[in-house]
Structure formats: structure tokens, C-alpha cells
């Protein structure tokens, strides 16, 4: 297995201004010079964490998805982040996963943020999405999912008896007031699942006057912080080493003692 190059884009967002966000993010993505496999954008990167999907949501054939496909093909990278999607008269906070050939996968946010009334506007997902990149298995999640460890908990693959995934990605609009929980839970998810964790959050004040400090992080499988950035915009590429993950799992085979369970649907 090869090392995995992941690029984090931590940025302020223009409130409910799709055109401005897509233009700004395109400039940042096209300016990436380093080798990278995956470019990761925050939650609801085209709008901010807005509760007006009735006005702003797009279809899977809409402008934002076409923008993602074009950029992924042009830069020969995987591009991911979440957007508002309307489908069959339902609205979803949907993480989109676009491959360099333009093919798409997606994950609908399972845990909707009731405190912010997200559950009054969006429909929850009921299925995890675990994807493969260069021999890595990657579990994709969105923001509030981070507070619910069972949803992310490793289970063993039925075919190989090995852990289901090697990397957890969380895209977020997580407020600065609860940044301690964000940082702590990212570390916890890495330790308990013996995997790398990448958390990508926005910075700046949103349209509800809620400030976001970023705190985007990359965590190693022992819970060590490999990268962290507060308050500032950044475009950062991190190399995740598969040999390190394999060594940790071999030296500390804790997952073999884990409880078996079936995820709720």
C-alpha cells in the first residue's frame, strides 16, 4: 500500500453565496502545487451551515456538482466536501466524493444537529460510505457525526477479518465555542479505532454571528497530533504513512478484543 496525500482547505465562507464560494475555492484548489490524492473541503462549503435548503439546495446535476467534477478531472484529484442536495422532495446534507475520472459517490449525514434545527430541514442518511484509495479504506462522516462513536466504530471486514477502514474523514462547520469537544473527539476516534483521522473545519463568522476557529486536525493512530491550525486560512497537504498504521496495529492489537455489534439503520 502507498502513502496517502491529503490536502486540507480550511477557509472562511461567504454566507449563502454559492458563486463567491466556488470562485474562492477554485482559486485555492488550482493553486495546489504538491502531489495530492484527496482535496477536502468543509461541510456545506458552497453556502455555510444554512437552514434554508428550500432556497439554496441543488440537484445532483446542479452547478456545484458539475463544478466538483470539472475540478477533480482537471486537477486529477479526489475532491470531497458536503453540500445541500434536493432529491425526491427531500433535502440532504450530502458529502460528495468525486473521483479524478468524474465518477461520484456520496454519504448523507446521519446525525442531524437538532440544537441548530438541522433535523427540521434535512433528512438523515442511514448508510455509511467507506471508499478505497490506493489500498486505503476511508470512512466518510460529517460534523455532528463526530459525537456518536458507534457510527464510526471499527468492525471487521467479513472477507478479510481486518479492520473496515484506515482513515476517518470529518468535514465540518464546528463552532469555536465547542472547539474543545471537536479536538478531543477527533483524538478519541483515532485512538479507539486505531486509524488516522482528518477533521476539516471552516473559520470565520457565519450568517448567524457564530464564530468558527477552524482547528482542522490530522491525528495519527495512537492519538498523536500530526497537524493542527487555528483561526487562520490554510491549504495544507499531509502525508499519511501506511507502514506506521500497520506497525501500530501489529504492536498493539487492541481491535481483536473489541465487542462485536451491528450498526443501527
Residue 109 is among the residues annotated as catalytic for this protein: yes
Residue 252: CB partners within 8 Å, gap ≥ 6?
Answer: 194
Catalytic residue selected from 43, 58, 118, 176: 43
Residue 164 is among the residues annotated as catalytic for this protein: no
Helices 63-75, 18-30: crossing angle, 10 deg rounding: 0
CA angle 70–73–77, rounded 5-degree value: 120
Catalytic residue selected from 18, 58, 109, 176: 109
Query: Which one, of 219, 228, 220, 218, lies nearest residue 252 by Cα?
Result: 220
The C-alpha cell that represents 34 in the structure block: 504538491
Residue 93: CB partners within 8 Å, gap ≥ 6?
Answer: 43, 44, 82, 84, 108, 109, 112, 118, 122, 142
Catalytic residue selected from 18, 58, 118, 143: 143
Residue 224 is among the residues annotated as catalytic for this protein: no
Active site amino acids: 43, 109, 143
Amino acid at each position: 500500500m502507498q502513502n496517502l496525500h491529503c490536502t486540507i482547505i480550511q477557509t472562511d465562507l461567504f454566507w449563502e453565496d454559492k458563486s463567491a464560494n466556488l470562485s474562492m475555492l477554485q482559486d485555492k484548489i488550482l493553486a495546489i502545487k504538491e502531489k495530492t490524492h484527496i482535496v477536502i473541503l468543509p461541510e456545506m462549503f458552497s453556502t455555510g451551515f444554512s437552514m434554508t435548503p428550500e432556497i439554496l439546495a441543488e440537484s445532483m446535476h446542479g452547478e456545484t456538482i458539475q463544478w466538483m467534477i470539472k475540478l477533480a478531472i482537471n486537477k486529477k484529484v479526489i475532491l470531497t466536501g458536503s453540500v445541500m442536495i434536493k432529491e425526491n422532495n427531500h433535502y440532504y446534507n450530502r458529502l460528495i466524493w468525486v473521483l479524478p475520472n468524474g465518477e461520484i459517490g456520496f454519504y448523507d449525514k446521519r446525525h442531524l444537529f437538532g440544537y441548530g434545527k438541522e433535523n427540521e430541514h434535512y433528512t438523515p442518511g442511514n448508510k455509511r460510505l467507506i471508499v478505497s484509495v490506493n489500498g486505503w479504506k476511508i470512512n466518510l462522516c460529517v460534523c455532528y457525526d463526530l459525537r456518536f462513536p458507534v457510527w464510526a466504530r471499527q468492525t471487521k471486514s467479513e472477507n478479510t477479518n481486518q479492520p473496515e477502514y484506515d482513515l476517518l474523514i470529518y468535514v465540518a462547520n464546528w463552532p469555536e465555542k465547542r472547539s474543545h469537544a471537536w479536538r478531543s473527539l477527533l483524538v478519541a476516534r483515532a485512538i479507539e479505532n486505531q486509524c488516522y483521522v482528518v477533521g476539516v473545519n471552516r473559520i470565520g463568522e457565519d450568517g448567524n454571528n457564530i464564530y468558527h476557529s477552524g482547528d482542522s486536525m490530522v491525528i495519527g493512530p495512537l492519538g498523536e497530533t500530526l497537524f493542527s491550525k487555528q483561526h487562520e486560512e490554510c491549504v495544507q497537504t499531509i502525508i499519511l504513512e501506511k507502514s506506521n498504521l500497520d506497525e501500530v496495529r501489529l504492536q498493539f492489537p487492541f481491535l481483536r478484543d473489541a465487542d462485536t455489534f451491528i450498526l443501527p439503520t
